[in-house]
A and B are shown apart, each in its own frame.
Chain A
Amino acid sequence: MVVLAMDTATEVLAVAVGRGEEPLAGAAVRVPRGHSRLLQPTVLDLLRMCGLNPRDVELVAVGVGPGSYTGVRLAVSTAKAMATALGLPLVPVSTLRAVAGAACPGRPSASVRVLPLLFARRGRAFGALYEVSAAGWVCRIPPRVEAVEAWREHVHAAEGAESGGPLLLVHDFRPQDQGLISGFGEARRMTLAEVAGGIAPALLQVAARGEVAPVVGDAVHDVAPEYTLRAQAEVKWEEKDGMAGDGGRESGGPGGKPGE
């Protein structure tokens, strides 16, 4: 089965073509503000490299964030258009799961905890906590945005109770912001740039192994990014007019991270 995977929610434009979970060709492009220009040409180039054309694709996997608001919409819009035009199932995968998978591509014999943290400004990070072992991937804390301090507490609290093994922290914090992510104990650290080439292959894996169920038929139209933060204007409006739901006190959006 020919699988096409793409993600544009981080500074890495990640694309891969695979036969099942086996990557045939992949690209990780870190050209600043290049995502919108380069996504579709990259997809076509990789397919051609494999001797395939777009009609040969049988399954599309797309990273749905969280991450850059504007960025994530590029791949989601493109993937939805491709999947609906070709009548293909679409697998929406958390970008955090893909980043975690990129940091830990194999299946370790002893369990490892993987914490992907993507910078969300104002001392916050989009994050999730996964545990991976020979048995596969388990999501311990689902994707959300929190203060980095809160992520530290989650990790320590988990260590107090039942350790899921050593911690692997993978992040996109710039050198000047890395002070924020100190104090995660003995965690092994990797940067997003170091694991960039593994993001799209991780999407292939998740999609091909059925870790996330494919969306089929008319429902493909409803696939949308997982922003985890509401638009700032909506939050302010609800605060002002007192019609807030549970998210009413949440602070605003990151207002667009690099990567378009």
Chain B
Amino acid sequence: MRILGIETSCDETAAAIVEDGRRLCAQALASQVEVHARFGGVVPEVASRRHTEVVTRVTEQAMREAGLEWHQLDAIAVTCGPGLLGALLVGVSAAKGYALATGLPLIGVHHIAGHVAAAFIGTDLRPPVLALVVSGGHTEILRVDEQFRFERLGGTKDDAAGEAYDKVARLLGLRYPGGPKVDALAQRGRPDAFAFPRSMLDEDNFDFSFSGLKTAVWHELERCRRSGETVAVEDVCASFQQAVIDVLVEKTARAVAATGLRTVVLAGGVAANQGLRRALAARAEADGFRVQAPPLALCTDNGAMIAAAAYFAWSRGQRADLTLNAHAVLSLEDWQAGRV
């Protein structure tokens, strides 16, 4: 079954065709990172305008590279939430236009389900799995059952991990998007140089909090500034990253123990973080579970993950009709129940 997936929930306009949720036929992407860099973050109106300008061209590029005509597809999938409402609406409107024109069935996809599905592309991995989704907007631990249905075990109470990365990057004067730069600098710093807090580790749940960590970094930088100390940026990055990773890895390992699931999918933009990948792999080896992360190119937002998730959702009977809407806030429960 060949599905076209369209994703416009934030600052990437992306489309891809995936067969049976596993085989990537082709993908295309127009990134807006440079467009938003000068603003220091994603500007929703600017993002929506850009999506409108490029969405059909990106889709056509994916179709052409796959060498496919519309009648050779089986369904059209699109991210229907969560995300920036105006941005989501562009993808949803285009996808509904394609479905209307071609008569192909339509599937609305939850963005987080997409990130998790990215880890299945090109593998023989099968649910159930445990998923740790870490991105600019999300930090969640999810149980994924045999039918690719999600149950949220825990998540962030305030900032997402990726958001904390970007905020710390800004404190350090690193240009947006700063997350990957923090990761790169952290490779050259001492992770024990600063004792930043590991929030909520003593709590018996799978929740996170990262806003205190960001504040702790700010206080440390202020202290250095007042006392005239030179700030070793690499050390700040390494210590900050270690604090984030310690919490993510520990809570994930606890969720593995609690659920008895033996496979962890690491997904989302921050899954590209080298420090996190290494630390989770090491813990997996020690505790005897398996970690599966998507290739780097499929960690950030893309159309393939939407097409892959749509296949699994379709397999358990999920469909949308032309009334499909976009939702800035959308729970996995509402999505699975078809309340879109």
Contact = CB atoms under 8 A, between A and B. Distances in A.
Interface of A: 36-41, 43-44, 53-55, 69-70, 73-82, 84-86, 220-222, 224-225, 227, 231-234, 237, 253, 256, 260
A85 B52 contact: no
B85 A70 contact: yes
Interface string B73-97: 0000000000001100111111111
Contacts of B331: none
A237 B40 CA distance: 11
B94 A78 contact: yes
Contacts of A75: 93
> Which of B89, B96, B323 lies at the interface centre, i.e. has the most chain A CB atoms within 10 A of its CB?
B96
A77 B322 contact: no
Given A77-B97, A222-B53, A237 B322 contact: no
Nearest to B102: A85
Contact of A80 (B56, B91, B326): B56
Nearest to A88: B101
Interface residues on B, range: 35 or more
Contact of B101 (A73, A81, A224): A81
A39 B93 contact: yes
Q: Is the interface of A mostly helix, strand, loop or mixed?
A: helix
Given A40-B100, A86-B101, A225-B52, A69 B45 contact: yes
B45 A77 contact: no
A232 B90 CA distance: 19
Contacts of A53: 103
A77 B38 CA distance: 26
A233 B94 contact: no
A260 B89 contact: yes
20 contacts: A36-B93, A40-B97, A40-B99, A40-B100, A40-B323, A41-B323, A43-B100, A54-B101, A69-B45, A73-B51, A73-B89, A73-B90, A77-B56, A78-B93, A80-B55, A80-B97, A81-B93, A221-B57, A222-B53, A237-B38
Contacts of A73: 48-49, 51-52, 86, 89-90, 93
A224 B94 contact: no
A224 to B, nearest CB: 5
B53 A69 contact: no
